[in-house]
Amino acid sequence: MTIFPQLVIPDTLAAGPGPGNTDPRVLAAFAASGVADHMQADVIRGMKEIKQMLREMFGTTNAYTYGVAGTGFSGLDCMLSAILPGDTIVAFNNGTFSGIDCQTIRMKASSAEDLAANPVQPQPANVHVIDVPHGTSVTGEMVDAALAEHKPMWAFMAHWETGSGRINDLAGFNDACEKHGALGLIDAVSSLGIADYSIDDYPAVVGWASCPQKGVLGLPLTYAPVSFADAYVDIVNKRGCRTYVNHPVLGARHWGVIDGQDVDAPAYHQTHSCYAVASVHEALRLSLIHGRAQKAADYAFHESILRDAVSAMGCKVTSNMTSLVVMNLPDALAGREKELVQGCRAEGFAIWPTLSEPVQIRIGILNQLSEDAISDIVGRFADAMLKMGANDVNKDAVLGQIRSRFAEAA
């Protein structure tokens, strides 16, 4: 048997849609955690404090607010598990991630016959997926029209669709759910910790799921934040759902939420990790110290500088999220987006292409909220364009423009 050499993973500049550029203080908290089991007093205290901090991040009094062990899709799996076979649902697809969410929804709403007919991409008649073109936002009017037509039990939308970099209309979604009596479910993976909003302002949305490593700035595979309103919990308590690990009500017990109340003594659900608890605790502390409103304003400011810089280099931006710029190359380089991204990634500059058609470039600024970080990203991107023959790119002028934008704001 071969004994492999010890695995060494290099440091890269994580400038994609997520995972973000993890804060060194979060990594330090992970590495500094002692070895402790999942019922040790400080681990339990950390989990209870995380629960409190998540309520602050989400802007909610929902008792059922906690972390699902895993990645964003673990939290989404938990939230979507309340959908049972035969339930009617309208779901909006405007990019890679809402597309995968719609697949999850079709799986969960399928009968045994639907699954047998197409195990991975079942097409149950009770699920209505509304396909919205890539690069377009879901509007309140679209939601209103679809809910009026189908009168579903549930409605689903991604708040910020990271695949195409588009913000969907949360207020319009909430209003349409209220008007048509649908229970709203939201993928808040990309917006939590970036946008300044309180979920309690959207009472027709009963379930929310986010992720550890985007706006929350924790490590991947730690905790996906979720929050459930009483109306959601009542349905799960009445009808059940087909999961143990990601069960929305059973999972909450280990966070000290039992029968809708915060309790002192949590109940074992699964073996939680002291490292995950320590690092997410630090990530949430850093976010709350920064402040929800200030953080949102800082993202908007830094994104506008990145957007203007790539536009000055001839790129065409089609996104409106504040943590991510999605764009096409100038006409002279059109069609070479993937090649440019691959070249950057090979040099440790980890930007991304879109994962579903059309091919575009995505550059993210998660935890890159400084003049140095934005200048570094733009400088490396300019180098990559120059290397591909974009001779009209004036790197010095673009970097100079960034310097004056920061100087004006100071």
Query: What is the contact surface with ligand PLP in residues (CB under 6 A)?
Result: 18, 71-73, 97, 158, 161-162, 187, 189-190, 211
For ligand PLP, the closer of residues 44 and 217 by Cβ is 217
**Smallest distance from the beta carbon of 182 to ligand PLP, in angstroms?**
20
Instruction: Name the minimum Å distance from CB 261 to ligand PLP.
Output: 30
Q: What minimum distance in Å lies between the beta carbon of 156 and ligand PLP?
A: 12
CB of 138 to ligand PLP, least distance (A): 12
Q: Which is nearer to ligand PLP, 333 or 350 (CB)?
A: 350
Shortest Å, Cβ 133 to ligand PLP: 17
Closest CB to ligand PLP among residues 189, 229: 189
CB of 248 to ligand PLP, least distance (A): 17
Q: Which residue, 20 or 124, has its beta carbon nearer to ligand PLP?
A: 20
Q: How far is the CB of 214 from ligand PLP (least distance, A)?
A: 6
Angle 409-405-196 from CA coordinates, rounded to 5°: 60
Q: Which residue number, 189 or 382, has a Cβ lying nearer to ligand PLP?
A: 189
Residue nearest to ligand PLP (CB): 72
97 or 390, CB closer to ligand PLP? 97
Tell me the closest approach of the beta carbon of residue 375 to ligand PLP, in angstroms: 26
User: Would you say 18 or 248 has its CB closer to ligand PLP?
Assistant: 18
Q: Which is nearer to ligand PLP, 18 or 67 (CB)?
A: 18
Supply angle C-alpha 310, 316, 321, rounded to 5: 80
